[in-house]
């Protein structure tokens, strides 16, 4: 019997989407940070759809502050909208909690969600609550709609060999509570798609070692990473920067000829946030091979 731990998350997704009807003319199919729906001619914007879940013991520990867990649950979704060059709009929240959960915990969870919604300009549209068995983990699932102007939509699949790879912020250290307090790069990607639109973009949720190969594969490329240039979170190693995951920084590709101009303009616009060139895309089959990062269903792992 083949088990989920034998194949991993990406292979599971590929198997599952073959079993259901798919949009015959999607603006972007499964595999990007958000689903993209084209409302038709005459609409300046495309619709973005996203769903995400936090599971106790996987994405947060029982002693994590509920307010921080709520922030993270919402901010993860916002980060995916940012990675497509879009903006979040309406949110649906589903809570599946053990019956012994303190009411104050649920209220503080929602306070964290509310803080994130206020920060990003989204609103709560509805949701669902459910109990789970007393020994089960708590689950917070958030679905949301958003939008992106047609000319700003940025996919993982539009880059080419020779394009430079850059990343915002610093990498590594998520296991030291950074994963509960990150800021989605919504403002920064809004500026990027308006002034220096990347050829490909995604957020780093599972670690550079796992997410960069996904972007390269989607664009039909290989990749080279200059490990000595990786922007490390204070106290972290290169291995942690590659594999810790949950940085929620933005990985982007852009034509080499535009890098100098982008870096100069970025420094003036966002002086407190680093933007670092870390490598380039190359021809498919060439370049590096990275290993590590977060893998759902892998044996012996806990975030």
Q: Kindly report, residue by residue over 201-232, the tens digit of the pLDDT.
A: 999 999 999 999 999 999 999 999 999 999 99
* CATH number of the domain bearing residue 249: 3.90.650.10
Which residues in the chain show pLDDT less than 50?
299-303
> In terms of domains, do 137 and 170 share one?
no
| Residue with token string 């300009």 | 121
> In terms of domains, do 169 and 258 share one?
yes
Contact present, 94 and 129 (Cβ < 8 Å)? yes
Q: Domain end: 152, 182, 199, which one?
A: 152
**Number of folded domains that form the chain:** 2
Q: Residue 291 domain-assigned?
A: no
> In terms of domains, do 23 and 46 share one?
yes
User: In which domain, by residue range, is 279 found?
Assistant: 164-283
pLDDT for the residue numbered 303: 41
Q: Residue 241 domain-assigned?
A: yes
> In terms of domains, do 187 and 271 share one?
yes
pTM: 0.93
* CATH number of the domain bearing residue 106: 3.30.1330.10
> In terms of domains, do 121 and 179 share one?
no
pLDDT for the residue numbered 175: 80
| Residue with token string 């021809």 | 283
Residue 120: phi and psi, rounded to 5, are: -95, -10
pLDDT for the residue numbered 265: 98
pLDDT for the residue numbered 26: 65
pLDDT for the residue numbered 23: 76
> In terms of domains, do 134 and 186 share one?
no
> In terms of domains, do 134 and 170 share one?
no
pLDDT for the residue numbered 6: 87
pLDDT for the residue numbered 200: 98
Element (H, E) at 112: helix 103-120
pLDDT for the residue numbered 302: 40
Tokens representing residue 171 in the block: 């990498």
Contact present, 254 and 199 (Cβ < 8 Å)? yes
> In terms of domains, do 108 and 33 share one?
yes
- How many helices (H) and strands (E) in the chain? 7, 10
Residue 105 CB burial class (10 angstroms; 0-12, 13-18, ≥19) = middle
Q: pLDDT tens across 6-34, in order?
A: 888 888 888 988 898 877 766 666 678 89
pLDDT for the residue numbered 5: 84
Contact present, 241 and 194 (Cβ < 8 Å)? no
């Amino acid at each position: 019997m083949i088990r989920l731990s034998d194949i991993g998350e990406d292979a599971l997704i590929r198997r599952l989407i073959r079993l259901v009807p798919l949009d015959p003319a999607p603006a972007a199919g499964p595999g990007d940070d958000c689903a993209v729906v084209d409302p038709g001619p005459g609409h300046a914007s495309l619709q973005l759809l996203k769903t995400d879940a936090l599971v106790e013991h996987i994405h947060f520990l029982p002693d994590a502050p509920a307010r921080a867990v709520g922030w993270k649950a919402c901010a993860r979704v916002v980060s995916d909208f940012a990675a497509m060059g879009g903006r979040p709009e309406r949110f649906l929240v589903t809570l599946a909690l053990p019956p012994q959960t303190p009411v104050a915990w649920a209220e503080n969870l929602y306070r964290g969600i509310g803080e994130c919604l206020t920060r990003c300009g989204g609103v709560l549209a509805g949701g669902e609550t459910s109990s789970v068995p007393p020994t089960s983990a708590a689950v917070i699932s958030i679905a949301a709609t958003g939008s992106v102007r047609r000319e700003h939509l940025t996919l993982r699949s539009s880059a080419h060999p020779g394009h430079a790879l850059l990343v915002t912020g610093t990498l590594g250290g998520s296991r030291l509570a950074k994963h509960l307090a990150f800021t989605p790069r919504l403002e920064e990607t809004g500026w990027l798609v308006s002034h220096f639109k990347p050829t490909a973009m995604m957020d780093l949720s599972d670690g550079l070692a796992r997410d960069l190969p996904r972007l390269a594969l989607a664009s039909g490329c290989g990749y080279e990473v200059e490990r000595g240039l990786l922007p490390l979170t204070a106290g972290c190693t290169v291995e942690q920067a590659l594999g810790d995951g949950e940085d929620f920084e933005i990985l982007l590709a852009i034509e080499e000829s535009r890098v100098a101009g982008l870096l100069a303009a970025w420094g003036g616009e966002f002086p407190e946030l680093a933007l670092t060139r870390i490598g380039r895309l190359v021809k498919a089959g060439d370049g590096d091979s990275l290993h590590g990062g977060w893998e759902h269903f892998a044996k012996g792992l806990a975030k």
